[in-house]
Amino acid sequence: MDFSPIFENYPLFLEGLVNTTKLVVSALAIGLLIAVPLAILRTSRNPLVNGPVWAFTYFFRGTPLLVQIFMIYYGLGQLQFVIELSQDWTFLRDAYWYALLAFTLNTAAYTTEIIRGAIEGTPYGEVEAARACGMSKSQTYRRVILPSAFRRALPAYSNEVIFMLHGSVLASVITIVDLLGAARIINSRYLAPYEAFLSVAAIYLCFTFLIVGGFKLLENRWFAHLRPREQTTGKKQTQPA
Amino acid sequence: MKKFISAVFVAAIALGAAQADAKDWKKVRIGVEGAYPPFSSVTSDGKLVGFDIDMANALCDQMKVECELVTQDWDGIIPALQARKYDAIIASMSITEERKKKVDFTNKYYQTPAKFVRKKGSGIEITKDGLKGKTVGVQRATIHDNFVTEVYGDAVEVKRYGTQDEAYLDIAAGRVDLLLADSVALEDGFLKTDSGKDYEFVGPDFTDPKYFGDGAGIAIRKGEDELAEMFNAAIDAIRANGVYKSIQDKYFNFNVYGS
Per-residue pLDDT of chain B (259 residues; tens, 9 = 90+): 566 556 555 555 555 444 444 467 889 999 999 989 899 999 999 999 999 999 999 999 999 999 999 999 998 899 899 999 999 999 999 998 888 988 999 999 999 999 999 999 998 999 888 999 999 999 998 999 999 999 998 899 999 998 998 999 999 998 999 999 999 999 988 999 998 999 999 999 998 888 998 999 999 999 999 999 999 999 999 999 999 999 999 998 888 998 7
Q: How many CB pairs under 8 A join A and B?
A: 50
Say whether A74 and B101 touch across the interface (CB within 8 A). Answer: no
For position B18, what pLDDT does the model report? 43
CATH classification of the domain holding A138? 1.10.3720.10
Based on the structure, what is the number of domains in chain A?
1
Taking an 8 Å cut-off on Cβ atoms, the answer to whether A86 and B175 are in contact is yes
pLDDT at B19: 45
Same domain assignment for residues B129 and B67 = no
Within 8 A by CB and 6+ apart from B26, the residues are: B65, B66
Helix (H, G, I), strand (E, B) or coil at B181: strand
CATH number reported for the structural domain that contains residue B41 in this entry: 3.40.190.10
Residue A229 resides in a domain: no
Nearest CA in chain A to B168: A74
- Cα–Cα dist A173/A169, whole Å: 8
First-to-last alpha carbon distance for chain B, in angstroms, is 67
Minimal-distance CA residue of chain A relative to B96: A189
Instruction: Name residue B75's amino acid.
Output: D
Mean pLDDT of A20-32: 97
pLDDT given for residue A92 in this prediction: 83
pLDDT at B4: 58
pLDDT for A93: 84
B238, B70 Cβ separation under 8 angstroms: no
Nearest CA of chain B to the CA of A190: how many Å? 8
Selecting from B99, B162, B174 the residue whose C-beta is nearest the C-beta of A83 gives B174
> Considering the domain boundaries, does residue B16 fall inside one?
no
pTM to 2 decimals? 0.80
For residue B50, what are the domain limits? Answer: 24-111+215-251
Give yes or no: residues B103 and B120 share one domain: no
Q: Are residues B219 and B93 in the same domain?
A: yes
Distance, in Å, from the CA atom of B110 to the CA atom of A113, rounded to the nearest integer, reads: 57
Instruction: Please check whether residues B91 and B145 belong to one and the same domain.
Output: no
Strands (E), chain B: 27-32, 35-36, 40-42, 48-49, 66-71, 88-94, 103-110, 114-119, 135-139, 157-161, 178-182, 199-206, 216-221
| Chain-chain contact of A184 with B78 (C-beta, under 8 angstroms) | no
Beta strands B216-221; B88-94: pairing state: antiparallel
How many structural domains are present in chain B?
2
For chain B, say whether A66 makes contact (Cβ under 8 Å): no
% residues pLDDT > 70 (chain A): 95
The answer on pLDDT for A107 being more than 90 is yes
Is the per-residue pLDDT at A207 higher than 60? yes
The pLDDT of residue A90 is 79
- What pLDDT sits at residue B5? 57
Cα atoms in the Cβ-side hemisphere of radius 13 Å centred on A127: 12
Show which of residues 160-199 on chain A sit within 8 Å of chain B, judged by CB atoms: 173, 175, 184-185, 187-189, 191, 193
Contacts A77 to B, Cβ<8 Å = 169-170, 172-173, 175
Q: What's the CA gap between B31 and B40, in Å, rounded?
A: 11
Pick from A54, A44, A57: which is nearest to A120 by CA?
A44
What pLDDT is recorded for position B145?
92
Domain region containing A130: 4-224
Of A106-110, A235-239, B221-225, B237-241, minimum mean pLDDT range:
A235-239
Based on the fold, state whether residues B64 and B179 are members of the same structural domain. no
Confidence at residue A165, expressed as pLDDT on a 0 to 100 scale:
96
Q: Are B52 and B91 in contact (CB under 8 A)?
A: yes
Whether B245 is in a domain gets the answer: yes
pLDDT given at position B17: 47
Burial class (CB in 10 A: 0-12, 13-18, 19+), A119: buried
